[in-house]
Structure 1
């Protein structure tokens, strides 16, 4: 096995994060030390306000690292330029509870946006890829539907397809199954597990959904910005 293969996809060391300033400054994360192996599926759990989403956004280059270290795909984020952040974001797939679909675009067109950021120039191949992944998520009959004509669960599955169509190296998901029924939720997580096994995709999921816990390789629990449990499944 090469050094690259052995290297963790994500590493955090002595990571702290704060919100506000002066007397209103509040610490949101306390000394977070973690490694996420390539190809693994990890769930972050904990009550609202425990720091789960904050940690996810720091890992995903969506917030600046204030104290400590985050290494993402071999690159140190602390002190990195915006250009580095932009380049790394293109190697990630993001799934958020708010699906953030463009209302004027069809399901297919929304998914194609996940390829456009990578400069995919072959429109025909891109459409085939978009239709394939939408089909895997049970949306073959909704390819040309606008978001206004989709249910909440269908919109979320389009958002999942958009995140996965470019075969990202890391998937970061915040409550991706909250709007989905049990079968659809399991389909999404099974797809993420399969990507980990076949392509080495690393997935980190923030969730309160007990229906998908058994599918994780690892469950990390946070409370008040601190890791209180770290369990391998």
Structure 2
């Protein structure tokens, strides 16, 4: 796929722990993802997928090697620069992390606040629209306690997408969803790539959605072995 590079990882190494307990978990990782691509990252538990995702997502400090996100180098970036980068991202985690005291609609409003936007009339309309896209038009005023696990995850997806972020990072986003709901979410991410140029990097074990990916990248023992 042509177009500009959204994510560029070069020679990335990473360690956990200190002293004798220090353990290397990523080894010389190279990965390039272009604007609008939907890339699926696969591999066994402990292969380094989530660590790579958190480094790209400015949730951990890059220690060795290079990670460029939307043209900005993360190695050596200040905390203020990392915060600015995070505001460019939409995050979807396996744990939906919804605020239990807020309605579905209010939880999605939080997605705008994370991007530094005030929730105006346009923002409220956007939140309703994206909840409709994930099939929750009739649940906008429900509290999380009155939603199923799959519905909560769809609220989390809507929250990640409402600010129209240029990059979406997703860690097992379909794990709590039935087949049809999972396919619908990934199809929406693919459509955003085609229509808006949204770039998605998704960690998953869900074989049901692989056909929707533009590319599949596989990791083993902290290294990329395919893709």
Q: Work out whether the TM-score is over 0.5.
A: yes
Instruction: Give the distance between the partners of 2:202 and 2:115, measured in 1 at CA.
Output: 23
Shift of 1:121: 3.3
Give 1:6 deviation, angstroms. 3.9
1:142 to 139, 149, 152: 139
Aligned residue for 2:87? 90
Structure 1: segments with no counterpart, 5+ residues: none
Q: How does 1:96-111 map to 2 (within 5 A)?
A: 96-111=93-108
Residue in structure 1 matched with residue 150 of structure 2 by the alignment = 153
In 2: Cα distance, 1:134 partner to 1:123 partner: 17
8, 12, 31: which one aligns with 1:15: 12
Distance in 1 (CA, whole Å) between partners of 2:115 and 2:65 is 30
**Residues of 1 paired with 2:84 and 2:219: CA distance?**
29
1:197 has 2:197 as partner: no
From 69, 79, 90, give the equivalent of 2:76. Answer: 79
Q: 1:128-178 CA deviation, whole Å, 9 max, x = no partner?
A: 111111111111111011111111000000000000001000000000000
Query: Superposed, which structure 2 residues align to 1:1-233 within 5 Å?
Result: 6-121=3-118, 123-230=120-227
Q: CA RMSD in A?
A: 1.1
Distance 1:111 1:122, change over 3 A: closer
Q: Please report how far the alpha carbon of residue 122 of structure 1 lies from its aligned counterpart in structure 2 after TM superposition.
A: 5.2
Matches of 1:197 and 1:42, distance apart in 2:
13
Mapped to 2, the partners of 1:152 and 1:28 lie a distance apart of: 32
CA distance in 1, matches of 2:119, 2:33: 34
Distance 1:107 1:60 in 2: 25
Find the residue that maps to 1:69 and give its secondary structure: strand
Offset, 1:12: 0.6
Structure 1 segments (4+ residues) deviating >2 Å: 117-123
Secondary structure in structure 2 of the residue aligned to 1:148: helix
CA distance in 2, matches of 1:118, 1:175: 22
Gaps of 5+ in 2: none
- 1:22 to 1:122, Cα distance in 2 relative to 1, 3 A: closer
Q: Counterparts of 1:121 and 1:160 in 2: how far apart (Å)?
A: 20
| SS of residue in 1 equivalent to 2:128 | helix
